């Protein structure tokens, strides 16, 4: 089991990061790239399975669990499945910042509440956008 619950702090920038492993967690705020984003994530992607089956799990996302206020996610994508009991999304579990040019494959999120349906795309759109 691999668990990422890291925080990308205020002056941190994550650029060109990829995750290809399964991430299993027993808490909230879990993502393929980071748990909580408090700065910038750009040109990053997740292809791993992100899962939190804790009974109250929330804020689980393909890129990050929570995108905080004044934080940004740009030109990033998720092709991996995401599973959480409560709030989950292909890009983020909860968003209080800005997301632009990012997307994930439709129908990969399993949760009671999907947080980012506006970013769900068909695989062909992702392939074209990111040159896959």
pLDDT digits (tens, 9 = 90+) for 121-131: 888 888 888 88
Long-range Cβ contacts of 100-107 (<8 Å, 24+ apart): 100/72, 100/73, 100/74, 100/75, 101/74, 101/75, 101/76, 101/129, 102/63, 102/73, 102/74, 102/75, 102/76, 102/77, 103/77, 103/78, 103/129, 104/62, 104/77, 104/78, 104/79, 105/78, 105/79
Residue 52's pLDDT is 87
Q: Is 114 exposed, middle or buried (0-12, 13-18, 19+ CB in 10 A)?
A: middle
Separation CA 98–CA 70 (nearest Å): 7
Low-confidence spans in the chain with pLDDT less than 50: 1-4
pTM: 0.90
φ, ψ of residue 126 to 5 degrees: the values are -65, -45
**Distances from the Cα of 30 to the Cαs of 48, 64, 130, in angstroms?**
12, 6, 24
| The pLDDT value given to residue 1 | 37
SS3 85: coil
């Amino acid at each position: 089991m691999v668990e990422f619950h890291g925080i990308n702090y205020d002056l941190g920038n994550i650029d060109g990061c990829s995750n290809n492993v399964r991430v299993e967690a027993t808490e909230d705020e879990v993502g393929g790239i980071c748990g909580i984003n408090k700065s910038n994530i750009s040109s990053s992607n997740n292809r791993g399975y992100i899962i939190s089956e804790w009974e109250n799990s929330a804020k689980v996302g393909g890129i990050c669990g929570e995108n905080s206020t004044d934080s940004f996610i740009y030109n990033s994508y998720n092709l991996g499945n995401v599973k959480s009991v409560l709030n989950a999304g292909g890009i983020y579990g909860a968003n209080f910042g800005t997301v632009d040019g990012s997307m994930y494959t439709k129908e990969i999120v399993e949760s009671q509440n999907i947080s980012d349906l506006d970013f769900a795309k068909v695989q062909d759109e992702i392939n074209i956008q990111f040159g896959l």
